[in-house]
Amino acid sequence: CQSMPDILKHSAASTWLSVAANRSKMYVTEKASGITYSFSPENKTWSGPYDLRPDPTAFFTAVGFAGDDLILAGVMGRAQNVKTLRLWKIKPETMEFDQIGEIPCELLEKLKGETSELSSISLLTAKNFAYMYNNSDPEEIIMCEIGDGECKWGSVKNLVVNDERRIGERMVMSCGMVEIGHLHRAMGPANRKFLVKSDA
């Protein structure tokens, strides 16, 4: 197995690296530079480096898989003066990118939070959804539904954040597909029923 590339070894922490994996490859991106390598478990080899900074003003990048699509989120400007956040779809064969969305201004303000500063974000992906939040102020979670050539944006309040949790605590979030069968098992004994009701 090839050794991990040096730039990744020196940044080997979740604070500095963003990782996306599917069944055939793992992509590791250095968040500040956008430098990305891919690892093939089948061949046990690293490929790259690839420059995943489509916009030179991007100071922070993160990757994730939304379904079969490799998605890149980039924050443009500076931490104290963020201009925008954009999403790109990466073509793994060529590592070329196509912009698929840009955050609306009002949601960018929510993402910045009370401090109006955005030094880093976390990107979570599942199926055709991308979720982003401000690591230092995770009060609002921005979501994007990725469709055919368009993004539908929205946001939800992070209900577990309150004044008591803000100081000195770190929060870890994840996302994934949850099916009704999973909920049935989570509800406990076999005789307990879980029903989905609709107003329609």
Please give the structure tokens belonging to residue 150.
Answer: 């368009």
Asked if residue 131 has pLDDT above 80, the reply is: yes
**At residue 73, does pLDDT exceed 90?**
yes
CA atoms within 13 A on the CB side of 52: 36
Q: Is residue 191 part of a domain?
A: no
Model pLDDT, residue 163 = 58
Q: Which residue has the tokens 């999973």?
A: 182
* DSSP tag of 114: T
Please, which pLDDT band fits residue 85 given cuts at 50, 70 and 90? very high
Residue 183 pLDDT greater than 90, yes or no? no
Within a domain: 200 = no
Higher pLDDT, 124 or 166: 124
Q: What is the value of pTM for the model shown?
A: 0.80
In a domain, 197, yes or no: no
Q: What is the DSSP letter of 92?
A: T
Residue 113: which CATH number?
2.40.128
Average pLDDT over residues 95-104: 92
For 149: left if phi > 0, alpha if psi spans -120 to 50, otherwise beta; the answer is left
The count of structural domains within the chain is: 1
As a whole-number percent, the residues of the chain with pLDDT over 70 amount to 81
Least Cα distance to 160 among 145, 178, 182, 141 occurs for 141
Tell me, yes or no, whether 119 lies in a domain. yes
Domain hosting residue 124, numbered range: 7-186
| Residue 195 counted as domain residue | no
Alpha helices, DSSP H, located in 1-128:
6-9, 105-112
